[in-house]
A and B are shown apart, each in its own frame.
Chain A
């Protein structure tokens, strides 16, 4: 790679990061100011009802969390290994 190629890559990736951050920033201004299903504090009786409802589905939640941990580790390992492996195996184009 020569200097021109490095400069070309730098501005393209830089512009991409700036563009993506601008999109993210725009949504970050909108989303926290919208609470679609209302934003009111729960009364003590509502808290009790929430606890009761949550306890009824304890098994579902345990299952969700266990599978989630597997997926999470999977993605982190994939994220760490994929690109070095891809570049090593198929090379740069």
Chain B
């Protein structure tokens, strides 16, 4: 067999191999960054580990940005930011609220978190905490919404957000469904809050303003995201 490759050709082959390797490394780096980003969003929403989660998610975004500069193909940043917001919001409602629904409501950390929150913005978490059969918040309306959302609404939304970020068609479809579900939940929640106004807003330190700043702004998510989810190119999710 005769080697017909000229020195120039073999140099080009070596160069293209080096480029391919560099690209593969960049792609692996992007995937690592994405894992950090998703984990950071979820940890950030636990509230108790919030500072750690924020650091992890910022690190994940920086790694993804660096990988993109090195030539890695990543999903559009708009989708990353929307998926990240959904993850943090859902994680707060799932993990932090889950601390009230499950036995952690009897722990010093769980009790301090929720009674402090009650004193801050929602008095229902301050009065009669851990005095009813299910423990945690004693307000019946709040407990009912919590059971529905922690056991069904939020885990569906969390899994859907993961699928959405992984560009799966079921992810986009379930994100849409879970956001309409979230919208219905928001209406039930606000009705509960309004009908118990003196207890919930009147008795807390920051009342209505604190509630809007801390809780209700993220709950506006459906109003902001549903138009996007209904008009985005569905063929991007495969």
The answer to whether A20 touches B95 (Cβ under 8 A) is yes
B71 at the interface (CB under 8 A from A): no
Interface size class of B (residues with CB under 8 A): 35 or more
A-B pair count, CB < 8 Å, reads 188
The answer to whether B44 touches A76 (Cβ under 8 A) is yes
CB < 8 Å neighbour of B120 from A8, A27, A86: A86
A3 at the interface (CB under 8 A from B): no
Collect the chain A residues with CB atoms within 8 Å of residue B177's CB. Answer: 36
Q: A37-B173, A54-B233 are in contact. Are A12 and B103 (CB under 8 A)?
A: yes
Which one of B19-27, B138-146, B149-157, B188-196 is at the interface? B149-157
Residues of B within 8 A of A (CB): 44-48, 50-51, 53-54, 57, 78, 81-82, 84-85, 88-89, 92, 94-95, 98-99, 102-104, 106-113, 115-117, 119-120, 150-152, 155-156, 158-160, 163, 168-170, 173-174, 177, 214, 217-218, 220-221, 224-225, 227-228, 231-235, 238
22 contacts between A and B (CB under 8 A): A13-B104, A15-B102, A15-B103, A15-B104, A16-B103, A31-B156, A32-B168, A35-B169, A36-B177, A61-B227, A61-B231, A64-B224, A69-B85, A71-B224, A72-B84, A78-B214, A79-B45, A82-B50, A83-B113, A87-B112, A90-B120, A93-B112
